[in-house]
Structure 1
Amino acid sequence: MKEKLKAYRFPIILLASIIIGSIIGILFGEEATIIKPLGDLFINLLFMIVIPLVFFTISSAIAGMDSMKRLGKILGSMITVFVVTGIIASVFMLVATVIFEPGSGVNIPLDTPENVEEQSLSEQLVNTFTVPDFVDLFSRDNMLALIVFSVLIGVATGLTGEKGRPFATFLTSASEVFMKIIKLVMYYAPIGLGAYFAALVGEFGAELIGDYAKAIIIYYPVSVLYFAIGFTLYAFLAGGKKGVTRFWKNILAPAATSLGTGSSIAALPVNLQAAKRIGVPKDVRETVLPLGATIHMDGSCLSAMLKIAFVFGVFNMDFSGFDTFLTAIGICLLSGIVMSGIPGGGFMGEMMIITLYGLPMEALPIITAIGVVVDPPATMVNVTGDTVSSMLVTRQIEGKDWMEKSENLT
């Protein structure tokens, strides 16, 4: 019990600071906005770090990949499975948010520029994925272009071979350094978020808190349904009735560990054991599960879609139409990719949401609060999603009789 409380200590502290800040906002009303600069300081620190952090984490991860033929097949199949399951999770939550409309009760004014230049679709695509000058990559307004550049750097470093090793080491080292900076900044998070919510509730009233309750009530049942129905279907596609039986027989230990620790990385050893008992080959499970702990987040896709719908509601923006939904699904996939397997690692994904939608900085703490309260079930879905994905990858690599082969090897 003590270990579980220790694992959730930081999310509990964050949640407590948000609650205390909200109470201060209710008690003091608009006078509470005097402490808003303490919240702005926290947001500015996060935005200051996001550009180098995204660059170094993505480029170092890709630079560290090997390029053997079977590994190439495993990686290709893995990426396909990760993208497809991420899209399904995003659509699953999208349906729920369209029906129940989280965040629709409060209207926070959104500042928009007076002169907006009209662009064709082709121009929008070019400007989204590329920039005309290197220095433009250092703006958080060009996050997708930065991701493309990071991927290219990672691939080029890997292809350079021995001569690229020192640079790959530098990328990995820099990634660790910036992750440590994020940890240092997070020590200030309880004060920053508490101050921000005091000002927010003081200015816009207590009805905002009711909308948070609605968002949480939507997330928990949807994540449980996706876990029960979605993963059973994936296990069936991977190995038929036997696949479903083996999945449910072995998945409870990783599910409980991830729920108890709040960390995809902490649950990895247990998850590797479960995949071994299911019959997933060694090279598949040891490639898919560690990578999945960082770049495959079905639970985070579910929460990202909820955050997008919620922030659209509170800023009184129109969350409808095929283009809007398609963009939201794409952002859910991207925010899942940049999230790391540590408790509270969703800040990067949340910054991705507001930068790609061009939302004001005020949107960050609003959606951060959702991330804090949905983290436990989201982590559980993330971890168990990796297990069933390793089964689907094995089905693609080894063929439909892979479960029989694994029985013969044991």
Structure 2
Amino acid sequence: MSANPASATTEKPSGSGFRIPKVPFWAQIVAGLALGVLLGWLARSQDVSWLKDTLGQIGDIFVQLLKLAVAPLVFFAILVSITNLRKVNNAARLATQTLIWFMITSLIAVGIGLTIGLLTNPGAGTGLTPQDGKLPKKEGTWIDFLTGIIPTDVITPFTELNVLQIVFMAAVAGVAALKLGEKAKPILTFSESVLELLQKALWWVIRLAPIGTVGLIGFAIADYGWDLIGKYATFTADVYIGCALVLFGVYPLLLALVAKVNPIQFFKGAWPAIQLAFVSRSSVGTMPVTVKVTERLGVPKEYTSFAVPFGATTKMDGCAAIYPALAAIFIAQIFDVQLGIQDYLLIAFVSVVGSAATAGLTGATVMLTLTLSTLGLPLEGVGLLMAIDPILDMMRTATNVAGQALVPVVVAAREKILDHDAYNAASASPVDDRDDRDAREAEQKVTVPATA
């Protein structure tokens, strides 16, 4: 036996037999996808109802566990992220740049969605009729959106999971804490501790993602089948192609031309968050992973802790830009409604201003009804898309989360606070809850140059 302690720790105990190799997290996700497709196909082709129900329950439990932490996680993440800006010089400039790039990328995304929709006519030849639609359970209007920001009490937003109102309360509390200064220090310490606790608990849920993947994908295949997907083939392809163009076309161009960094390194570092978003269909549920991969890409911790939570509730290139643009064209064609230039401009406006309505949760029904009501299109059209929505939501959410990591990288690079050595060293290795104890915690206060 070697006298070297390091080598001694790696030596197998005598008689222990072989050790099972550790399977990478991404491989677990892929295996879950493959197993889910197989079980879903078996459940549908052999009409095994108990298997279909079991897959549905597994998927629902996983999503419910993610949602369980959403309300307190959003509140404390936004509160702490705003107060963390006190550690950053020229914080107002950083926040403004972040918002501007959110809007720029959303406009590009909605433009791509509209272009694809006008070129492919996704509502033509589907065999669907207006009678196939039904009114959604939840609707969104501008009056609801504007008046719904302010809660009537502090409890209801948490019990009804109204993320927009939770964000409002957290923002007010964060600004108030900044104004109080040292007097608010006990509250901030408590908030940071609660946020750490919530993130730790959420990590345990995230580790269940491969099992959740089996249930979510399996139930989708068992319940919807390929026949239903066939009716929406053009629309489904449009959503996936539109998201892919933004994800693998627009984002790399912004990284190369604006941030002047290697786009491949971005995808290496951000991949754990992107793949989890694809499976979980929740930007908020993926937020702890998004925070860590963004830090690993060299964005300062203080700025990341503001930009990513802010983006997880407002930055939705997939759900709030590409999807409503395509969906509006699809529904207008089904209901034989002609859209004009002014309608397309309204879609772009709603996508940029109303994206907070999606709230980073699974699905984009509220955003879609907000878009349809603004255009005067029948809300029954939402019912046409609900059956196929889970399949579309996977790609949409992956695009959302990639954008939520991209913008902080672009802004940090433009403001010359990006750690290029960390960025170039980023890899697609798994992210875990120990990554936040890295060397960057010892970094000094971030300084943003006063001029561009």
* CA drift at 1:312: 7.8
Tell me the distance in 1 between the aligned counterparts of 2:68 and 2:273.
Answer: 29
1:220 is matched with which residue? 244
Cα distance change on mapping 1:287 and 1:186 into 2, 3 Å: closer
Residue from 382, 395, 401 that aligns with 1:370: 395
Question: Which deviates more from structure 2 when the two are superposed, residues 165-174 or residues 8-17?
Answer: 8-17
Residue number in structure 2 paired with 1:386:
408
1:58-102 CA-to-partner distances (Å, cap 9, x unmatched) read: 11211222177x424433443343333343343244335534577
Distance 1:73 1:44, change over 3 A: closer
Is 1:8–2:19 an aligned residue pair?
Answer: no
Task: Please state if 1:176 is matched with 2:196.
Answer: yes
Residue 363 of structure 2 corresponds to residue 329 of structure 1: no
Q: Deviations over 1:248-295 (max 9, x none)?
A: 5x66544544458866534645546xxxxxxxxxxxx77656654554
The RMSD of aligned alpha carbons is 4.7
After superposition, residues 125-140 of structure 1 pair within 5 angstroms as 125-140=145-160
Counterpart residue identity of residue 369, structure 1: M
Distance in 2 (CA, whole Å) between partners of 1:398 and 1:333 is 29
Task: Tell me: CA distance 1:382–1:186, structure 2 relative to 1, closer, same or farther (3 Å).
Answer: closer
Aligned to 1:162: 182
Per the alignment, residue 408 of structure 1 pairs with none
Partner Cα distance (2:146, 2:123) in 1:
33
- The 5 A counterparts of 1:198-213 are 198-208=218-228, 211=233
The answer to whether structure 1 residue 40 and structure 2 residue 60 are counterparts is yes
- Amino acid of the residue matched to residue 411 of structure 2? S
Check conservation: 2:113, 2:323, Cα contact below 8 A: no
Aligned counterparts, 1:252-291, within 5 A? 253-259=265-271, 265-266=292-293, 268-269=295-296, 271=298, 291=306
| Residue segments in structure 2 that go unaligned for 5+ positions in a row | 1-22, 275-288, 370-381, 418-447
- Identify the residue that residue 444 of structure 2 maps to in structure 1: none
Q: What is the match of residue 280 of structure 1?
A: none
Quick check: 91-100 or 361-370, which moved more?
Answer: 361-370
| TM-score, normalization by structure 1 | 0.65
Between the aligned residues of both structures, percent identity stands at 16
Q: Does structure 2 retain, via aligned residues, the 8 Å contact 1:60–1:171?
A: yes
CA drift at 1:135: 2.4
For 1:351, the aligned partner's letter is T
Is residue 353 from structure 1 mapped to residue 364 from structure 2 by the alignment?
A: yes
Q: 1:256 to 1:308 in 2, by over 3 A?
A: same
1:74 corresponds to 2:98: no
Tell me the SS of whatever aligns to 1:168: helix
Which amino acid in structure 2 is aligned with residue 353 of structure 1? A
Which structure: larger Rg? Answer: 2
CA distance in structure 1 between the aligned counterparts of 2:133 and 2:213, rounded to whole angstroms:
20
Q: What does the per-residue CA deviation read over 1:342-376, in whole Å, with 9 as the maximum and x for residues that have no partner? A: xxxxxxx243735666889988844553258x46x
Per the alignment, residue 10 of structure 2 pairs with none
Secondary structure at the counterpart of residue 131 of structure 1? coil
Opposite residue 364 of structure 2, the aligned amino acid is I
Aligned equivalents of 2:296 and 2:224: distance in 1?
46
Alignment partner, residue 124 of structure 1: 144
Report deviation, 1:229. 4.4
| CA deviation string 1:222-254 (max 9, x = no partner) | 43331354456646xxxxxxxxxxx25x66544
Aligned to 2:114: 95
Distance 1:53 1:146 in 2: 10
CA contact 1:251–1:384 (8 Å) conserved in 2: no
Q: Distance in 1 between matches of 2:311 and 2:224?
A: 36
Whether 1:61 aligns to 2:100 is no
- 3-state SS of paired residue (1:370): helix
The verdict on how the C-alpha distance between 1:175 and 1:24 changes in structure 2, with shifts beyond 3 A counting, is: farther
Select the structure that is richer in helix.
1
Amino acid at match of 1:44: Q
Displacement of 1:206: 0.9
Q: Distance in 1 between matches of 2:252 and 2:207?
A: 36
Specify the alignment match of 1:282 in structure 2: none
